[in-house]
Amino acid sequence: MSSTATFDRPATRWGAYALAALLFAFEAFVVWLMLNPDVPEDFRAYYIDRTTTCLNQPVPGTYRFGTLVDFTSDGREQAMPLRVCGWEGPAGDGTHAVGTSSRLRFRGKPQPGAHQLLLDLAAITRAGEPQPQRVEVTVDGEPVATLEVTDPEPQSFTLPVPRDALADGTVELILGFPDAVRMGPTDPDTRYRSVKLTRAGIVPEGKIAVGN
Q: What is the pLDDT along the chain (212 residues), one digit of tens a residue?
A: 444 444 456 666 777 777 777 887 777 766 665 666 666 777 676 677 677 788 889 999 999 999 999 999 999 999 999 999 999 999 878 999 999 999 999 999 999 999 999 999 999 999 999 999 999 999 999 999 999 999 999 999 999 999 899 999 999 999 999 999 999 888 898 999 999 999 999 999 987 666 66
Q: Which residues, other chains included, contact 151 with Cβ-Cβ below 8 Å and sequence gap of 6+?
A: 122, 123, 130
Terminal Cα-to-Cα distance of the chain (whole angstroms): 63
Q: Are residues 160 and 206 located together in one domain of the fold?
A: yes
Q: What pLDDT score was predicted for residue 2?
A: 46
Q: Are residues 31 and 102 located together in one domain of the fold?
A: no
Q: What pLDDT score was predicted for residue 4?
A: 46
Residue 46 lies in a domain: no
Helices (H) and strands (E) in the chain, counts: 3, 14
Q: Are residues 18 and 90 located together in one domain of the fold?
A: no
Q: What DSSP state is assigned to residue 162? A: P
Q: What pLDDT score was predicted for residue 45?
A: 66
Residue 45 lies in a domain: no
Model pTM score? 0.78
Phi, psi of 207, deg, nearest 5: -115, 150
Q: What pLDDT score was predicted for residue 22?
A: 81
Q: Are residues 104 and 17 located together in one domain of the fold?
A: no
Number of domains present in the structure of the chain? 2
Q: Are residues 71 and 34 located together in one domain of the fold?
A: no
Q: Are residues 31 and 87 located together in one domain of the fold?
A: no
Domain with 177 in it: what CATH number?
2.60.120.260
Q: Are residues 105 and 164 located together in one domain of the fold?
A: yes
Q: Are residues 34 and 84 located together in one domain of the fold?
A: no
Q: Are residues 112 and 178 located together in one domain of the fold?
A: yes
Helix (H) or strand (E) holding 4, with range, is helix 2-35
Q: Are residues 164 and 102 located together in one domain of the fold?
A: yes
Q: What pLDDT score was predicted for residue 33?
A: 57
Q: Are residues 31 and 133 located together in one domain of the fold?
A: no
Residue 62 lies in a domain: no
Domain of residue 202: give its range.
Answer: 67-211
Residue 51 lies in a domain: no
Q: Are residues 72 and 32 located together in one domain of the fold?
A: no
Residue 116 lies in a domain: yes
Residue 137 lies in a domain: yes
Residue 54 lies in a domain: no
Q: What DSSP state is assigned to residue 110? A: P
* R_g of the chain, CA atoms, integer Å: 21
CB neighbours of residue 18 within 10 Å? 10
